[in-house]
Amino acid sequence: MNTLQKEYHLADQTWDLCQQRLKPPIRGSLSKHLSDPRPLDKRGHKNFVAQLRILPANPKPPFFWDSNWCFYQILVGSIDQSLGGIQFLQFSDNSKCGSGKWHDAVEKALLALQAKRPDFLFTGVSSGGARKPQLYTRYRIGPH
């Protein structure tokens, strides 16, 4: 089994454990993307990182969820000096995500969650300057 296959396996295991711990109504309302895990397609990463996107089974409201622009994800592999992480992200101004309609509400909700979970980090802009509210945590290598 090569490195990426191991990371795929770990991403699937993380998803399975998450499913086991979620209460049944929530568990049934989420699904992993059919083509995941897959390699994270991000410029500048020299290491293999497995990405597993999580979306609602019935995506509502319309023009909010999108498998490329607004989703939850599990990452497994060496990224930002970590072993991977979990996050929610939304490229707010993308037309598939409501062309900015949801930005303020998403940002407010994520900041409220971050206040309750200081181990999660909030960022509001992508490296390219696009409005992208996201809340994430990384699995650190070594002592915290």
| 142 confidence band (pLDDT: 50, 70, 90) | low
Nearest C-alpha neighbor of 83 from the set 14, 38, 140? 140
Q: According to the model, what pLDDT value does residue 80 have?
A: 73
Q: According to the model, what pLDDT value does residue 81 have?
A: 76
At 14 the three-state DSSP class reads: helix
- Residue 120, pLDDT > 80, answer yes
Residue carrying structure tokens 């309750």: 116
* Token representation of residue 6: 């191991």
Q: According to the model, what pLDDT value does residue 33 have?
A: 94
Alpha carbons 136 and 138: distance in angstroms, whole number: 7
Query: For the chain, what are the domain ranges?
Result: 3-140
pLDDT digits (tens, 9 = 90+) for 60-102: 888 899 999 999 999 888 777 788 889 999 999 999 999 999 9
Alpha carbons 76 and 67: distance in angstroms, whole number: 18
Q: According to the model, what pLDDT value does residue 71 have?
A: 94
Q: According to the model, what pLDDT value does residue 42 have?
A: 66
Residue 142 is which amino acid?
G
pLDDT digits (tens, 9 = 90+) for 6-53: 889 989 999 999 899 989 888 899 999 999 999 887 665 556 788 999
Alpha carbons 93 and 96: distance in angstroms, whole number: 8
Alpha carbons 109 and 92: distance in angstroms, whole number: 14
